[in-house]
C-alpha cells in the first residue's frame, strides 16, 4: 500500500495505524514522487491527500488512469475540504480530514478484498521437468 501526503505527521499516523493492522506501507511526500514509486513497485492500494505541492492527489489519479498497469489500483482520496466539483470515478473512496482510522482501515480492507485475482499469480512448480511420458517405476531402474 502506498500513502501519499506532504504532511509527515499524517503520513506517520496513517502508516502506524495501517502497519499495526498488518499492512505493508510505503510512503511518498507528493503525487510526483508517488507516481515514480508506483511505476517501480505497483502497490495494491493508494491512499492520497488531495492538496499537495508538485502534483496533487487529483492529478496523481488522472496520471494513474493513463497507464493500463496502474489504472486498476484502488485509490482512497483524503482531503480537508469537500470535493464538490471533482469526478469520483478517479478514486474509489473519499475521506474528509480528520480521518476516522477505523473507517479508513475498514475501507482499505474492503477495497483490497474486492480486487479481482491477478493473472500474475505464480504457478505451482515441480522440481521435475514436464514430460508427456509417465515416470518409470523405481523397480525397473537398477
CATH number of the domain residue 108 falls in = 3.40.50.2300
Q: Is residue 48 part of a domain?
A: yes
CA-to-CA dists, residue 122 to 41, 112, 117, angstroms: 17, 19, 12
> What is Dmax (Cα atoms) for the chain?
79
Q: Is residue 142 part of a domain?
A: no
Query: Percent of the chain, pLDDT > 90?
Result: 68
Domain that holds residue 105: 2-113
Count of domains for the chain: 1
Residue 5 burial class via C-beta count within 10 angstroms: exposed 0-12, middle 13-18, buried 19 and up: buried
Q: Which pLDDT score is estimated for 131?
A: 44
Strand order in the sheet with 93-96: 26-28, 2-4, 46-49, 75-79, 93-96
Q: Is residue 63 part of a domain?
A: yes
Q: Is residue 93 part of a domain?
A: yes
pLDDT tier for residue 124 given thresholds of 50, 70 and 90: very low
Q: What is the pLDDT of residues 86-110, one digit of tens each?
A: 666 789 999 999 999 999 999 999 9
Q: Is residue 88 part of a domain?
A: yes
Q: Is residue 23 part of a domain?
A: yes
Q: Is residue 28 part of a domain?
A: yes
Q: What is the pLDDT of residues 39-57, one digit of tens each?
A: 899 999 999 999 998 899 9
pLDDT tier for residue 132 given thresholds of 50, 70 and 90: very low
Amino acid at each position: 500500500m502506498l500513502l501519499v501526503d506532504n504532511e509527515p505527521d499524517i503520513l506517520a499516523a496513517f502508516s502506524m495505524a495501517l502497519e499495526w493492522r498488518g499492512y505493508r506501507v510505503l510512503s511518498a511526500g507528493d503525487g510526483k514522487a508517488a507516481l515514480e514509486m508506483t511505476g517501480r513497485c505497483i502497490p495494491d492500494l493508494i491512499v492520497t491527500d488531495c492538496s499537495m505541492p508538485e502534483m496533487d492527489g487529483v492529478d496523481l489519479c488522472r496520471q494513474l488512469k493513463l497507464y493500463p498497469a496502474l489504472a486498476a489500483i484502488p485509490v482512497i482520496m483524503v482531503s480537508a475540504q469537500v470535493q464538490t466539483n471533482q469526478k469520483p470515478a478517479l478514486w474509489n473512496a473519499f475521506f474528509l480530514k480528520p480521518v476516522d482510522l477505523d473507517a479508513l482501515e475498514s475501507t482499505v480492507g474492503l477495497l483490497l478484498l474486492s480486487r479481482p485475482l491477478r493473472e500474475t499469480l505464480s504457478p505451482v512448480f515441480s522440481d521435475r521437468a514436464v514430460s508427456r511420458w509417465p515416470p518409470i517405476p523405481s523397480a525397473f531402474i537398477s
